[in-house]
Structure 1
Amino acid sequence: MAGRRDGSLMREKGQSVLRSRIVVAIMIGVLLGCVCAFLFPHGFFNSDPLFGNSRIGKSDMQIDIAACESPEHINALKADIVSVSEKNSELKKQVRVLTEKLRQAEQGKDHAQKQFLVLGENHKAGPFGTVKGLRTNPTIIPDESVNPRLAKILEEVAVQKELIVALANNNVKEMLELWFTNIKRVGIPNYLVVALDDRIEEFCKSNDVPVYKRDRDEGIDTIAKTGSNHAVSGLKFRILREFLQLGYSVLLSDVDIVYLQNPFDHLYRDSDVESMSDGHNNMTAYGFNDVFDEPAMGWARYAHTMRIWVYNSGFFYIRPTLPSIELLDRVSDRLYREPKSWDQAVFNEVLFFPSHPGYDGLHASRRTMDFYLFINSKVLFKTVRKDASLKKLKPVIVHVNYHPDKFSRMKAVVEFYVNGKQDALEHFPDGSDW
């Protein structure tokens, strides 16, 4: 019993000592906490960047905020923004100018070098009869910045980067309607009317015809609205340039044309310009050796000449190449400087005249279309309608270019080839009445 009491007393004494130590530890902790709170009122880790000088920091911050909010400072900032914006616009303008100069410089490189880039490395000449020169010039790099609005329209209308384009004002409304009616009947999807006045634009829209009206241009608009047929015809060379710059091949079409087949199924696309001819047989359309006789020259009285009838500037296919754009530029420039000139004559002179002293000719490849498929009205009324075999052939298009009574002859062409009326062409004279 005495032993159990001694053990119990010892356990009670040990527990008392442990409790005393815990109390002392708690008191020391509280004391240290009070000291730290007094010495470090903001704590050991303070995110305030102004720690250590809080009164001064807050005062400075209030001053800075007040300064930023002052009207003078705000106006100064606005002025700086305007100045920077103006400088930025000027820099952008300079970049555009430099880009255009670079593009022109690239286009101005030697033509032979451009052919070299297409053909690759130099080649040795092959065996006799196997050598073929470059037929097709490379297409240009499209530049959509030239006319973004037109670029968007062409992206929707064109098929494989090519389309038919016609210019029209209200003076040719009847022929235009017959023109696009037959295009729709044949099923040609890629065509576009360039409206030269508001009435034609609305007329096309009301008939679900793809139409594009250019942005206002006083010089062009005056001719477009009031000019003669020849004057309006001359505009196409300036307007077509943008189509080519955007990278599209164009089949330029006058509106006095009846479409009987899809012309894109009958193009070769191996030349810069592929045009219908004003010729009426193999010799006149494709060229011939014409002998000039001058008896006064005696033994040398005969001089051989090469002749070909002109290309029709109212129906030709033109690819987006450098020579093609140069052709349009040269013709446009001539027509501007020589306002009484006929656009078709200038078109052919630029296309065919060779280089000679004082003149650098145009290096453009050319192809003449089959004159029985792309038929002019002289061939139709003077030859085809009188030949039983030729009457059975169905041309791709008929261009009523040789006769002034265009609309009545266009309707007769539709009657003959579309509706099968065999005598529809008979009552017209070979030529014109005046």
Structure 2
Amino acid sequence: MIGGRSRRDGPMMRSIGHRSRIAVAIAVGVFFGCVFAFLYPHGLFVSIPRVHSRTSIRQLNSSSCESSQGIHMLKLEFVAASEENAKLKNQVRELTEKLRLAEQGEDNARKQVLVLGKQQKAGPFGTVKSLRTNPTVIPDKSVNPRLAKILKKLALRQELIVALANSNVKDMLEVWFSSIKKVGIPNYLVVALDEEIANFCRQNNVPVYERDADEGIDSIGRTGGNHAVSGLKFHILREFLQLGYSVLLSDVDIVYLQNPFDHLHRDSDIESMTDGHDNQTAYGYDDVFDEPSMGWARYAHTMRMWVYNSGFFFIRPTIPSIELLDRVAGRLSRVKAWDQAVFNEELFFPSHPGYDGLHASRRTLDFYLFMNSKVLFKTVRKDAKLRKLKPVIVHLNYHPDKLERMKAVVEYYVNGKHNALEPFPLGSE
């Protein structure tokens, strides 16, 4: 049975195997056809007409020339783009700096608002009073670390008296610091402009500061007269303010009779003694200018006051104060001028076309307490009541015989010699 079944199934199986091989061959053919169709979509053999071959060669030659020119043009474009990029970077840098400054200004304004107080409504009539005190700067010890150490030990409540001196004023300086010691003022400092004064101060136990070498400034300090040294102080004072200290700047032709720090108001950027000699000249008045040719409008009213004395003023470490010092020192370095005139012009001239005025608050000190020598010799010594008044300081600014009059002031107010002022004339001879 087994053998019989094999004979019957043999032809059938051979037929099935033959058909399978044909199917496999067809499948393989289709597969390779698909592969060639994918890899060679335009056929395996593509004829290139001869007419195009020469054209292609010419195009190849011309394209090589054009490519070198193209490279050159690309280089030029690259250079131009680089320059434009540099310009854009500079513009971005400038805009960034402007933005930084604007943010800094906004930040300063915000800080000032925080210091001065929040915005508020105006009160009833007659009750409104504006704020006058600017905030002090943040101290910067990096400006002058050596000076910062001296001031930290010497100053009281971040305040001190400062005087500049060279050997030309040695005798007056001695009367100056002797009167300070007599009153008992501990917070004062002499900025020595030469070695002789530095040694003189050390010998007399006077606090002294010798600046680091500065050829231009030091030449003025060593050999300059009163006006030259007076102009120099605006440059030097800046460091004191940057370090966060209020300075009572003092010339050496001044006699101290009381502690001036007990009589300051500290409500302004600048508190200064005046060259005025009465209420009008010291504090201001309406001066009428007469021009008859104008007829009905012949009278013009003007506001006048006598100048502040640049030899004695209290200056707080605020931005307007530092700007004042910069303005005065800058002008004095460019033009030959009297420092007191420049000091007052920068302090009082308002903003006008071509000029931005200084926004600094100021106070005029009591001219009987902070007395100039014109007030003393013209008015006080001749008035029985005023003679009994003891001023805070006397500044011998109106007279050239300063040393003799300083000694007379000491004799009169300190030693009680009632006729000590009598021998001197009203003015200079």
Q: In 2 relative to 1, CA 232–108 (structure 1 residues): closer, same or farther, beyond 3 Å?
A: farther
Find the counterpart in structure 1 of residue 117 from structure 2: 120
1:336-347 equivalence runs, <5 A: 336-338=333-335, 340-347=336-343
Q: Distance in 2 between matches of 1:110 and 1:335?
A: 32
Task: Determine which of 192, 195, 198 is the counterpart of 1:198.
Answer: 195
Find the counterpart in structure 2 of residue 133 from structure 1: 130
Q: Distance in 1 between matches of 2:104 and 2:180?
A: 36
Q: Distance in 1 between matches of 2:245 and 2:141?
A: 11
CA-CA distance at 1:132 after TM superposition: 1.3
Equivalent pair of 1:179/1:258 in contact (CA under 8 Å): yes
RMSD: 1.8
Find the counterpart in structure 2 of residue 402 from structure 1: 398
Find the counterpart in structure 2 of residue 150 from structure 1: 147
Find the counterpart in structure 1 of residue 279 from structure 2: 282
Task: Determine which of 298, 317, 336 is the counterpart of 1:320.
Answer: 317
Find the counterpart in structure 2 of residue 181 from structure 1: 178
Secondary structure in 2 aligned to 1:330? helix
Equivalent pair of 1:107/1:322 in contact (CA under 8 Å): no
Q: Deviations over 1:170-221 (max 9, x none)?
A: 0000000010001000000000000000110111011100000100000100
CA-CA distance at 1:112 after TM superposition: 5.7
Equivalent pair of 2:248/2:313 in contact (CA under 8 Å): yes
1:5-154 equivalence runs, <5 A: 115-154=112-151
Q: Distance in 2 between matches of 1:351 and 1:104?
A: 25
Find the counterpart in structure 1 of residue 328 from structure 2: 331
Q: In 2 relative to 1, CA 214–290 (structure 1 residues): closer, same or farther, beyond 3 Å?
A: same
Find the counterpart in structure 1 of residue 259 from structure 2: 262
TM-score normalised by the chain length of structure 1: 0.75
Find the counterpart in structure 2 of residue 352 from structure 1: 348
CA-CA distance at 1:119 after TM superposition: 2.6
Q: Distance in 2 between matches of 1:327 and 1:279?
A: 22
Q: Distance in 1 between matches of 2:406 and 2:197?
A: 20
Q: Deviations over 1:372-401 (max 9, x none)?
A: 000000000011000000000000000000
Amino acid at match of 1:123: Q
Q: Distance in 2 between matches of 1:401 and 1:106?
A: 46
Q: Distance in 1 between matches of 2:326 and 2:237?
A: 10
Find the counterpart in structure 1 of residue 60 from structure 2: none
Secondary structure in 2 aligned to 1:275? strand
Q: Deviations over 1:316-349 (max 9, x none)?
A: 00000000000000000010011x2000000000
Find the counterpart in structure 1 of residue 414 from structure 2: 418
Figure out how many residues of one structure are paired with residues of the other and give that number. Answer: 333
Task: Determine which of 387, 390, 404 is the counterpart of 2:386.
Answer: 390
Amino acid at match of 2:257: L
Task: Determine which of 251, 270, 284 is the counterpart of 1:273.
Answer: 270
Q: Distance in 2 between matches of 1:296 and 1:251?
A: 48
CA-CA distance at 1:113 after TM superposition: 5.0
* Residue segments in structure 2 that go unaligned for 5+ positions in a row: 1-97
Q: Distance in 2 between matches of 1:103 and 1:432?
A: 57
Q: In 2 relative to 1, CA 197–128 (structure 1 residues): closer, same or farther, beyond 3 Å?
A: same
Q: Distance in 2 between matches of 1:186 and 1:108?
A: 44
Find the counterpart in structure 2 of residue 28 from structure 1: none
Q: In 2 relative to 1, CA 105–194 (structure 1 residues): closer, same or farther, beyond 3 Å?
A: farther
* Residue segments in structure 1 that go unaligned for 5+ positions in a row: 1-100
Find the counterpart in structure 2 of residue 216 from structure 1: 213
CA-CA distance at 1:310 after TM superposition: 0.1
Find the counterpart in structure 2 of residue 160 from structure 1: 157
Task: Determine which of 359, 366, 376 is the counterpart of 1:370.
Answer: 366
Q: Distance in 1 between matches of 2:426 and 2:222?
A: 33
Q: Distance in 2 between matches of 1:132 and 1:362?
A: 21
Find the counterpart in structure 2 of residue 20 from structure 1: none
Q: Distance in 1 between matches of 2:185 and 2:407?
A: 19
1:294-313 equivalence runs, <5 A: 294-313=291-310
Q: Distance in 2 between matches of 1:151 and 1:370?
A: 32
| Percent identity (aligned) | 80
Say whether 1:239 aligns with 2:245: no
Find the counterpart in structure 1 of residue 69 from structure 2: none
Equivalent pair of 1:192/1:210 in contact (CA under 8 Å): yes
Q: Distance in 2 between matches of 1:214 and 1:324?
A: 22
Q: Distance in 1 between matches of 2:162 and 2:345?
A: 23
CA-CA distance at 1:114 after TM superposition: 5.3
Q: Distance in 2 between matches of 1:125 and 1:105?
A: 29
Q: Distance in 2 between matches of 1:104 and 1:200?
A: 43
Q: In 2 relative to 1, CA 430–104 (structure 1 residues): closer, same or farther, beyond 3 Å?
A: farther
Secondary structure in 2 aligned to 1:264? helix
Q: Distance in 1 between matches of 2:107 and 2:281?
A: 34
Q: Distance in 2 between matches of 1:293 and 1:251?
A: 40
Find the counterpart in structure 1 of residue 204 from structure 2: 207
Equivalent pair of 2:168/2:225 in contact (CA under 8 Å): no
Q: Distance in 1 between matches of 2:398 and 2:104?
A: 38
TM-score normalised by the chain length of structure 2: 0.75
Q: Distance in 2 between matches of 1:430 and 1:169?
A: 29
Amino acid at match of 2:377: F
Q: In 2 relative to 1, CA 138–314 (structure 1 residues): closer, same or farther, beyond 3 Å?
A: same
Equivalent pair of 1:158/1:190 in contact (CA under 8 Å): yes
Equivalent pair of 2:167/2:194 in contact (CA under 8 Å): yes
Q: In 2 relative to 1, CA 104–387 (structure 1 residues): closer, same or farther, beyond 3 Å?
A: farther
Q: Distance in 2 between matches of 1:266 and 1:304?
A: 34
Amino acid at match of 2:360: A
